[in-house]
Structures are given as C-alpha cells and as structure tokens.
Structure 1
C-alpha cells in the first residue's frame, strides 16, 4: 500500500509500522518484510504489534514533532475474514479487532484521509461488525466513509483478485473513490493476461535463479513432483488431466484420489495446476511458494512461478527488490501485499481529494509495470460495473 504513495510525486512517506508476522506460530519479525520496505521506500518500519501500543506511543515513535498527516494507510490482516479459511465461517479471529482499532489511531493522528484494503468479507462477511464499528467510530470523528469491493483486474491487475477498498475523508465533499477515478475509461481486456505480464521474462529451470535478477528465482522440483508438473498440459493444465492414463495417474497423490472419489475435481483442481497464458492469473495468496498450494505453476516451463513473476502478477514494478534469506518469505511478502499497481491509483485518488485537481488517466498507470497508455480505452459506462456488491 505504501509503495503506490511513495511512487507518486505528491506524497512523502513519513513513518510506518509492521509486526512482520508470517504465521502466528512464527512470532514477530519472522517474515522480514520491513527490510524489503526499507530497501524500496527508504524508511525502516517500526516492528511493533499495533494491538499492543497506544496511538500516542506510535505517534511519538514514528512521527516525532509531526502535528498532522494527510493520509493514514492501514491494512489490518485479512486472514481472519478470508472465505478461503473454513474456520472463519464460525470463529471470529482476535486479529479482526485491529480493524476498529484503526479509528483510534485516526483520532490521534488526525489524517485528512484514511485508506484501507482487505478481502471483501470485511464488509460483507460474517464478521462485518468489525467494519461497522470502524465506520461508526470514524463517523463520530467527522469522517465520511465509502466502502466497496472490486475485481482488481478491472483496474489493470493481471490477476483475479477481489478486494474491498475503504476510503474515509474528513469532509464529505472531498470524498472520491476508484469509481470516480475511472469514470469514462477502462483497461483493455487483453492487457490483464499472464502472457502480457510475464511472457517476456527469461526462462529458468526449477531451482534456478536468473543471473541478473535474484528475485527471478523458484524452488527446485525433483522426483514425482517434477514429473507430475512435466506431465501436465501446457497453458492451463492441471492434475485431473493426468487421469485415464496409467503412465501419468501414478503421479497423483492421495488427496487427489480422495477428490476423485468424492467427485470434487473442480474444488481441488487448482492444486499443482498451471496458469493459463491468456487469462488473468488466479489470486496470488501468501502461501504461493509451492505448486501444491494453488495454480502457481508456469504456463509452459516445468516449475513454480518465480518470486519475480508472481510479484509482477501482483502489480509490483519490475525493479522492486525483495530482500531476505528465506525464499519462502519472499513469496509470502508478495502474496500478503496490496498490489502497488492499485495503490498507485489510490494515491492519485488521494491527491485529487487533497488538491481538487482530477488526474489525467494516463498518469495513474504505475511506471515499470506491464501497463501502458495504449491499454486505456474510453468507455461510456461504469468501468467497475463488475464490482462486487
């Protein structure tokens, strides 16, 4: 979320905080994302649990002498709201309370604008009361709040990603959204495919690293894992394609046969699957470091997509640096991120609100991503007509 504002000439990042938790069991600092943040933005975030620090303490730590800020960017964990986790249908994750806590930080920091990104279930799921509490607190502070869930491929992301965007402004007359930014325009459909985004990257072997890009790297595959991927058809193939042939069925693992016996091929077919060249990528999730966790295999090369490929599909510029000793954590940093391609557009929305000047639509495309001005089309209808309600 920060990088989109860092890349915009109208903003300067003045402070950040992230506890760097990869999984609750790994403890604070494990994922190492603050080092990557510092390498690209030039600010070392405070490694602190925002549920364990007061707004005044945070302000003193990262904003000494700062009387007010223009924009507060807040992205609480989405894990407790995501429909991909079955327990979220019945259990309210304690981390979900961080959503309403953002309003407490807003009361202390007094930003003119607040922007938040999360999964759609934050605003329409079983535990949306956290969003309602957040919204009501902000309204008591005098903010107007707009919340909507979108398909981010509508804004040029080469990925099927659905996310809620919440924007709060001190004055209702100031409130603008992505709908306003894109009114009258859209991204050409062919600009959001896997082919368009990553086909130009150099080929590498499983376990390899490109000599001129340490982030164009992927884990090694061997034995049945390698043979399973090799046997799958190029361009969208998956493990069900191995059924019916004894020479390839031997590569199916027990969970695959279990899915066959239950007639649940559609629910499980993305595991070990290849991406399709001429479609947007599937949702890039935090555990995207292994082909067994989703449709993360390259469309034709016999390997997992690299950190760089998934980062590009996640809307990062081609020269963004992911740093750390654990390749798995680099993948997690990619999957956990707000796509910078979209946060750059949000920065333009914020600048419009603060200056009153609507940006030229050609200027909202993040440099060094796959998008160019030729991908823009005039459109006489709402470009977000496919937004989730």
Structure 2
C-alpha cells in the first residue's frame, strides 16, 4: 500500500519486483497549496504505469480506520509505503527555519495507519531535515509511536549518488520492521560495493537522447519536451557557456552582461555569487545532476538548463536523472505539473533497491546487488565496483 503515492516513484520499485503486488494507493494530488486538490494530476500518471487508480483522498483529514476499510485488503499489507510531503522540512524553503508547516504533522499521523494496517515493514523517504531540522519532533513522535507498538526503526540520510542515482539527491530513508523481523537497509545491500563515477553522470544518463528545441515535443516521445523559452530568456541561456556555465559568466563581456536580470545584479552587489550561481545554470556533462526539486520547470529555479542545447532540460531528461526508466509515462494537464511529479518523486532506481531490502526482511534471503538494478534505468551491472576489502575476503 502506498500513501502519498504521487506519480508512483516509490511504488514502481515494488511493482517491478516479482515478489510484490501493489494493492492500493492514495494521494490528494496537490500542486501548490493555492491550487487545491487534484491540480497536479499525478494519480493518472500512477495509474498509467502501475495499473492501479489511487484514491483521491486528503490524508490529513481521513481517519486511518476509514482509509483501511476502503482500500486495505482484509488480511492487511506486508509493506506500507508512506512518504509525506517534504516541502515543510526542506532547508531550500527559507521560512522553514522558523515556521512549522501544517503538512509536517502528516509524518506523525503515519503511525495511525500503521496501528490499523499493522504492516510488517514501513518505508519512508524525505529530506534529511526530517531527522535533523528544527521540526524533527514530528519524526521523533512517529518513531516513539512505532517503538511503542514493538517496531524496530532505523533512519539515516544518504546522498543517493552512492546507490547509483545520477543526481546529488540527499535524502533520509526510514525503515521500520514489526516485532520478530530483522531490519535491513540499502547500506546492507551495498556493503562491499561502490559505483563507478562515470555511471552517475549527466552524460551517461541523457547524452543519448535526441536534440529538441526549447518548447518543442519530440515526435516519438511526448515527455521529451521542455518549458518554452523565447526572446531575451532564450538569448540569455544561449549566452551562457556550455557544460556547467552559469549566469555569473554573463559578467565577462558587455555584450552578455546586458542579459542580467535585477535579482542577478543585486546578487553581484551583495557579493553572493556562489549562493546564487545555480540559477540559470547549465548542468555539467561529467558530473551528477543537481538536486531535482519540485519547482524544476524553469531555468530560473536552479541549474536545470541542458549542458549544451539552449533550453531547459525536458521532462524526460529530468525523469531519467531522477531514476525513472526511460519508458515511464507522465500525464497531466500542464507541463509544469509533469515537472512537479518528477521533483516530488522517490527515484524508482532507489525504490527498486528498497523493494529488495523489504524482500530480504520478509523472506530471509539476501539479494545480490546486481539483481537490485532496476531494468530500464541508467544503472548497469558493470557499473558496480567491488571494494578492496571485499576482494580480500573473497
């Protein structure tokens, strides 16, 4: 069962694993708080790829027993996936240093669903500030409730490049297991292994995709399309050097300096180029992508420009960089919401590995790491490197 199921990133790893069957999901489909329920359209994306239509219910309002009665099988579930919104914890939102977002309370409410459904395994993904930020008491409340029910809880943060994702995505992963069961995480699956540096680069992930112009849609892939840039916005990107260039490079000549917008000039005056340089920046070919955030639909929101083509990275490109298989279909009424579905998602490349960890917990058989590589994703078996200590033991 998947709560806060979004476009299916967490579910897809279990859907692709032969030992699991997705039974149900729920998501209220909020784009921005101001747009109301149903705006982001992620449930259609979920259904197109997982084959289940999620319930469009507000998990902040519905009681756990009512939800379970409507979508949970009578025998209960083995694994409960619950990834509440991370926006209220993220350090990228300045007000989160002092203001507790009401959505943060959804974390502790997950314990209510656990108490009713009694899953054998609970999995949660969020930003690291869930565990360490000013409002970590929400997680502590969840942890205490789970432990009172006899669950064992393990929570830690990781840069997911460590597990083969071609993106610098720092995330907290929470695993809880019912009494009597062991507990395993991605650290256990990857023990003794690392990944080749070239396997997690932007070039490796999207370098093979056909070129498209800004705002155009490729005729063979409706998701290979980007936010349209025109006029001075397009000229600004064209003036930024390829392969990792940023707006700060516009300062080099009077011909390009004219493309600075007021916020850029203020950053120059305040001497904070380093803190602001990713805006209107190009990705580097031979590095992992930057964190793909919820508002990744415009070059003005981060380093989301293509390394050499004069445009925003397409929906398809950012999906691949966030661990989706290349054939995943994104459905929605606006391209901006497709980008949001990707930025919100747990990378399927990672959730497939989590499915193997859950299978190990439930079945008792440790998986081979090669078996935990999601078909159709950027990671390959020959990308795995056996560490020296492991070779010595062998």
- Normalised by the shorter chain, which TM-score bucket? over 0.9
1:85 aligns with 2:93: yes
Query: 1:45-71, CA deviations, whole angstroms, 9 ceiling, x for partnerless residues?
Result: 0011111111111011112x5221100
Distance in 2 between residues matched to 1:53 and 1:222, nearest whole Å? 45
State the match for 1:181 in structure 2: 189
Match of 1:363 in 2: 371
Q: Give runs of aligned pairs for residues 130-149 of structure 1, distance below 5 A.
A: 130-149=138-157
- Tell me the alpha carbon deviations over residues 117-174 of structure 1, each in whole angstroms, 9 at most, x when there is no partner: 0000000111111010000000011100000000000000000000000000013651
1:208-241 deviation line (CA, Å, top 9, x unaligned):
1111000000122111101110011000001110
- Relative to structure 1, is the Cα distance of residues 16 and 173 closer, same or farther in structure 2, using a 3 angstrom cutoff? closer
2:340 equivalent to 1:309: no
For the residue of structure 1 that corresponds to 2:316, the secondary structure is: helix
Which position in structure 1 is the counterpart of 2:26?
A: 17
Equivalent residue number for residue 113 of structure 2? 105
* Aligned residues: CA RMSD: 1.0
TM alignment of 1:1-389, pairs within 5 A: 1-63=10-72, 65-171=73-179, 173-380=181-388
- 1:354-381: CA deviation from partner (whole Å, max 9, x where unpaired): 0000111111111001111100111146
Structure 1 regions of 5+ residues with no counterpart? 383-389
Q: CA deviation at 1:244?
A: 3.1
CA displacement 1:52-104 (0-9 Å, x = unmatched): 111111011112x5221100000000011000011100011111010010011
Cα deviations across residues 264-305 of structure 1 (Å, max 9, x unaligned)? 000111110000000000000011111111100000000000
Match of 2:3 in 1: none
Distance 1:238 1:213, change over 3 A: same
Cα distance in structure 2, aligned partners of 1:189 and 1:94: 40
The DSSP-based 3-state class of the residue aligned with 1:24 is: coil
Contact 1:145 1:169 in 2 (8 A): yes
Q: Is the 8 A contact 1:185 1:380 kept in 2?
A: no
Matched residues in 1 for 2:113 and 2:210: separation?
45
Secondary structure, in 3 states, of the residue corresponding to 2:114? helix
Secondary structure of residue in 2 paired with 1:26: coil
User: How far apart in 1 are the matches of 2:389 and 2:361?
Assistant: 23
Contact 1:152 1:162 in 2 (8 A): yes
Runs of 4+ in structure 1 off by over 3 angstroms are none
Once the two structures are superposed, what CA deviation does each residue of 1:303-346 show, in whole Å capped at 9, x if it has no partner?
Answer: 00000000000000000000122111000000000001000000
CA distance in 1, matches of 2:378, 2:112: 38
CA contact (8 A) 1:74 1:115 kept: yes
Give the gaps of 5 or more residues in structure 2: 1-9
User: How high is the TM-score relative to the length of structure 2?
Assistant: 0.95
Total equivalences in the alignment: 381
TM-score (norm 1): 0.97
